[in-house]
Amino acid sequence: MARKDIVVIGASAGGLEAVLSIAGGLPADLQASLFVVLHQSPGWKSALPQLLAKAGPLPAGHPADGEHIGAGRIYVAPNDHHMLLEAGCVRITRGPRENRFRPAVDPLFRSAAYIYGARAVGVVLSGALDDGASGLYTLKLRGGTAIVQDPSDATVSAMPLNALQYTEADYTVPAAAIGGLLARVVREPAPHARRLPPGEDEKTLHEIRIAQGRTEAGQDFTRFGTLTPFTCPECRGVLARVKDGGIVRFRCHTGHAFSRQTLLGSIARDVEESLYDALRALDEAAMLLEDLAADFGREGDGEAAARSLALARATRERSRPVREAAIRSGTIDVGDAGAGSISRETRVPRAARTS
């Protein structure tokens, strides 16, 4: 009988310590494969494989595209690449960013759920916003096991809170307990496959193809969602609204995907940038008018100098409310719209069971 031998782990802000703690709690003879996505800024060379290998007994590394999956190893997503799973191997791709990250947690979780079903174990750790919530929902829907770091134990609790908001986790435990928990869980037999809602299988495969870089798949994504008036912050394409149970997400025809929180954060950033662009233009106009006034004064044209100064003062006055609005634009705080504060269309009870 198949065992729960595929473990996918997602983390972001504050998640490094949690991932290292898990690695330190794993046995050397673990008969399972672990796959880790940790959000990082593009351009940085990740030292995570070396840190994981030092923290615990298992070897760790960045897999090559098409590399065979072996037991007792930790595979770390390379920077600026998605890591996906296929039958028996790892795929490394540069598909569209999801939740403004590449690698992102959700594509890894979806691919593990689609290929391995009940054999997959998903772990959501510390992080901001809600990457991983949709992927964990899909993994649990297909019979997988859901483990979430206790939010009170997480450095940044948003990712665990959002995961628990939508998916009834099998275990909610501190990071220090997850390594030992995984050592037990991966010895358990995988349950039989679950019956899926109509269209779920096709939708998940479609999203995996997008993450693989087959962006033409996104052009047909309106089959799985409804068009919205919102535009993609990455490419300005039209966004379609997609639902995973109670989770609402957005995806554009080129493949970029956003949770509601990530989209709100992007809109807030765009508002701030637009306000500062307007402020810069007004300040430049005022400075040019002041420079013209000085030139007219040197040339003895007092009337033109006075008109230019008057226009400069008026422009400065016009810039004042824009400056104040730009400063206040930071009050669109995505953290205030986190788990529990945005009305959900479907609420899933939080799990109470622990290890």
Residue 175 neighbours by CB under 8 Å, 6+ apart:
17, 18, 21, 22, 125, 126, 149, 153, 154
The pLDDT score that the predictor gives to residue 223 is: 85
The pLDDT score that the predictor gives to residue 246 is: 93
Q: How many CA within 13 A on the CB side of residue 41?
A: 2
Q: Which CATH architecture has domain 6-185?
A: 3-Layer(aba) Sandwich (3.40)
Residue 331 neighbours by CB under 8 Å, 6+ apart:
none
Just list the catalytic residues. 12, 39, 131
**Between these two residues, 327 and 95, which has the higher pLDDT value?**
95
**Between these two residues, 63 and 44, which has the higher pLDDT value?**
63
Low-confidence winner among 93-107, 192-206, 283-297 (lowest mean pLDDT) = 192-206
As a dihedral over the C-alpha atoms of residue 208, residue 12, residue 50, residue 4, rounded to 10 degrees, the angle is: -50
Residue 271, classified by CB atoms within 10 Å of its CB into exposed (0-12), middle (13-18) or buried (19+), is middle
**What is the arithmetic mean of pLDDT over 62-74?**
98
Report the percentage of the chain scoring pLDDT > 90. 79
Residue 174 neighbours by CB under 8 Å, 6+ apart:
149, 150, 153
Mean pLDDT of the chain: 90
Task: Provide the 10 A C-beta neighbour count for residue 186.
Answer: 23
Low-confidence winner among 14-28, 56-70, 127-141, 266-280 (lowest mean pLDDT) = 266-280
The pLDDT score that the predictor gives to residue 111 is: 98
Q: pLDDT tens-digit profile of 208-233?
A: 999 999 867 667 777 889 999 999 99
The CA distance from 83 to 20, in Å, is 19
The pLDDT score that the predictor gives to residue 326 is: 85
Give the H or E element holding residue 149. strand 145-149
The pLDDT score that the predictor gives to residue 329 is: 66
Using alpha carbons, select from 166, 86, 102, 97 the residue that is nearest to residue 134: 166
Task: Provide the 10 A C-beta neighbour count for residue 349.
Answer: 7
Where exactly are the structural domains of the chain? Answer: 6-185, 263-335
- Are residues 137 and 113 in contact, defined by beta-carbon separation less than 8 angstroms? no
The CA distance from 207 to 229, in Å, is 22
User: Widest CA span of the chain, in angstroms?
Assistant: 96
**What is the arithmetic mean of pLDDT over 60-72?**
98
Q: Is the pLDDT of residue 259 over 90?
A: yes
The pLDDT score that the predictor gives to residue 58 is: 98
**What is the arithmetic mean of pLDDT over 76-81?**
96
What confidence tier does 330 reach under pLDDT thresholds 50, 70, 90? low
Using alpha carbons, select from 276, 285, 274, 271 the residue that is nearest to residue 316: 285
**What is the arithmetic mean of pLDDT over 164-183?**
98
The pLDDT score that the predictor gives to residue 282 is: 95
